[in-house]
Chains A and B, each alone.
Chain A
Amino acid sequence: MAKRKSSGNRSISYAKWGYIFIIPFFVVYAIFTLYPQILTIYNSFFEYYRDGLTIVGPRFVGLDNYKTLFATNHAGYVPIFKFLGNTIWLWVLGALPQFVVAMMLALFFTSTRLNIKGQQFFKTVIYMPNLIMASAFAMLFFSLFSQVGPINQFLISSGIASKPINFLGMQVSVQTLIALMNFLMWFGNTTILLMAGIQGIDEALFESARLDGSTSTQVFFNITMPLLMPIFIYVFITSMIGGIQMFDVPQVLTNGYGIPDNTSTTLIMYLNNFLGISKNYGMAGAVSVLLFIITALLSSIVFKSINPNRK
């Protein structure tokens, strides 16, 4: 400001540089995000797919794709609702233990009283599963838990089971495995984010609380948690968006069929089925639009309910 005044009427406006510097982001955003988004919404009003090598459409059909999407299927339910339920359930199953374990680990690692040695080592180890590709991870579990895989061999040779257990054919085990894989892959990431959040809290607050004789529980609920809230909301919402977009693990583990009885079919797997051999852009567009609305709604609900003071 002082500089500006002194330079008088020969002032140089630096404001334009601000705009110039943010141009690349907006260009990239417009080309790679905004345009496809608009195109997806546009396509959802058209009949547009391939029959063999023949392209059918695009033909404007109004809301027909949405009507089809909400129609009851042959098994007597609206598929999109069932798959939305699956997706949320699978996410909760993996995310709940993930938050609990990650929070505990983050507290242990940041606690000045525990002062754990070899932190770097543990941090690397718990982050490691995230570096493995989800699909490779799922392939690994697929082989481990197959009826002739090592897990079954162990169970039989140790006498726990008398015949191979079809882990990949039962709802409980398939859903548990998916949740377990998502948990293993993401708890390290969450731990590190939460640790960063806790480390950002002024140490003096913890010290004074301790001097006042508060218990660890009191410290956690009255100091750590409220001050960690912004980071926690971030972790929660990103995890939720990731959960809604869950695809690779169940896709590879169930070979794309969401076995058994479509109980592990997620929304994106459903979307992927439309985009398979027939490249049904119309229906896939409708699913995407719905997905967009659901994600936006859930995020804002979570945001509002966890932190009502924020605007």
Chain B
Amino acid sequence: MKKLLSILLAMLMVFSLVGCSNSSEPAPAPADETPAETEEGKVLNIWTWNVEFWDFLGKYYADEIVDEYTYKKGDVTIKRTTYPSDGGAYQDALDAALLNQANAPADEKVDLFLAEADYILKYTNSDATMDVKSIGVTDFSNTYKYTVEAASDANGVVKGVSFQCCPAAVIYRRSIAKDVLGTDDPAEVQAALDSWDKFNDVAAQAKAKGYYMIPTTNATYRVFSNNTTSPWVVDGKLNIDAAIEGWMDQSADYVANGYTAYTSNIWGEEATSEMFATGKSMCFFGPAWYFNFSMGNAQDPDKGCFGDWAICQGPQAWFWGGTWILAATGTDNPTMVADIMNTFINNEEVCSKLVSEDAQFSNNQAVNAKFAADESYGNAFLGGQNDTAVFVELAKNIKFQNITSYDQLCNEGLQTYFQEFLDGNVDKETAIANFKDYIRTTYPSVTVE
């Protein structure tokens, strides 16, 4: 019991560290909302691993913010259940809830839940999620195609929507770029970074000036893992793609040459401390949500360096994550579930605010195009750069491919075990053997050779 409690508390602590809460002031909900039908459930349960979407829901959908875990919309109470994503804890808890869905009382059933690209297949390909077209989410004309593909099962039945589109970029420090490359203009920086070879050359220049190219070797991991030519699991067997090998080689190289500040977890204190003004790292990697939700240290009013950033595509096109909202089978609030989904993909006012107020890259192409063309629009964090214009171009290159339901722990596990090699604790063979053994223990259904 004591252990159980302590694990729970540890999870809460981890979560409170990861999820920096943006205090959301109750904003008036858009006027054109129809109140939920009264014969449906009075409680809408939404499962999340952080508060990103939850905050948007509070700002743009709920009528009243009751507390950190509760909103009101009409006479329906919206409740949040949150577990940290790390180590699969969120999936773990969610799986238990979904398997118990049929037996749970109406007010405790999962109605909506969030899922990441890394494991979305597990849910879309199961009966735990339902066809959203059947409950009234039918207009996908403005959403990005890959966001719909990702939320569809093997037969093309759409099970959810994403409120964001996540083309990702290199997020570089303007002041460091100026010092190293003599310019901080996104087009010129892009020209200097448009291949890994050039990127490595710039890394050497940065080193010569006393900077690091990247905060941690894990920063570039997603770029490689998103450009694989084969999935993690092929015919039930673990498969390490050439692109992953490429990342390993590059990381070993960067550690040997001192191009990276750390080798640690991208979410850890070490890597995030490089976002402060005192940081010496030039390039971070991520999509819109990364710099507005996960770069809190850079936005810190005292120690941060707000405005000293800009984005460009970098060596390879890629996307990272994105949060999908999936409809759980057995929901007693189908109307409201559909209403929430439609609000975040088709309500122009809400989508516009997501861009202008929250610096999101919305999942509404018309709205994004509007901002991309708007000369006066700029992101203050990026020194006034129009990030939407950059992302509109990058979004064209996104392909949702080589994804399996095992990706989260394969990605986390590989980075963790490979770090031991980078830190010099084990040789490369042992690091990979340890990773393989981890997968063998974690996924009995995957054959590891």
Contacts and interface: CB of A to CB of B under 8 A. Distances in A.
Interface of A: 47, 49-56, 73-76, 79, 133-136, 138-139, 143, 146-149, 166, 169-171, 247-248, 252, 255-257, 259-262, 270, 273-274, 276-278, 280, 283
Nearest to A283: B444
23 contacts: A51-B444, A53-B95, A53-B128, A56-B445, A73-B433, A74-B440, A74-B448, A76-B433, A133-B5, A133-B6, A135-B7, A135-B10, A139-B14, A169-B423, A256-B87, A259-B420, A260-B420, A260-B425, A261-B425, A276-B92, A277-B443, A278-B442, A283-B444
A259 B416 contact: yes
B122 interface: yes
A51 B5 CA distance: 27
B405 interface: yes
B125 interface: yes
A147 B405 contact: no
B420 A52 contact: no
A186 to B, nearest CB: 13
B87 A276 contact: yes
Given A261-B434, A270-B441, A52 B3 contact: no
A47 B409 CA distance: 22
Given A56-B445, A133-B5, A135-B9, A79 B423 contact: no
A71 B225 CA distance: 31
Interface string B90-103: 01100100110000
A15 B443 CA distance: 55
A54 B269 contact: no
Contact of A257 (B9, B417, B432): B417
B6 A135 contact: yes
B95 A50 contact: yes
Contacts of A49: 444-445
Contacts of A257: 416-417, 438
Given A270-B441, A280-B444, A134 B268 contact: no
Contact of A255 (B95, B122, B416): B416
Given A146-B269, A283-B444, A134 B437 contact: no
Given A53-B95, A138-B10, 6 more contacts: A53-B98, A134-B6, A259-B420, A260-B426, A276-B442, A283-B441
A73 B3 contact: no
A257 B88 CA distance: 13
Interface of B: 2-3, 5-7, 9-10, 13-14, 86-88, 91-92, 95, 98-99, 122-123, 125-128, 262, 264-265, 268-270, 273, 405, 409, 416-417, 419-420, 423, 425-426, 430, 432-434, 436-438, 440-445, 448
A32 to B, nearest CB: 11
A244 to B, nearest CB: 14
Nearest to B96: A279
Given A54-B126, A75-B437, A273-B441, A261 B420 contact: yes
A270 B426 CA distance: 20
A51 B438 CA distance: 16
A52 B126 contact: yes
B187 to A, nearest CB: 34
A278 B444 contact: yes
A242 to B, nearest CB: 11
Contacts of A169: 419-420, 423, 425
A270 to B, nearest CB: 7
A109 to B, nearest CB: 27
Nearest 4 A/B pairs, CB to CB: A135-B10, A74-B433, A75-B433, A260-B425
A260 B426 CA distance: 8
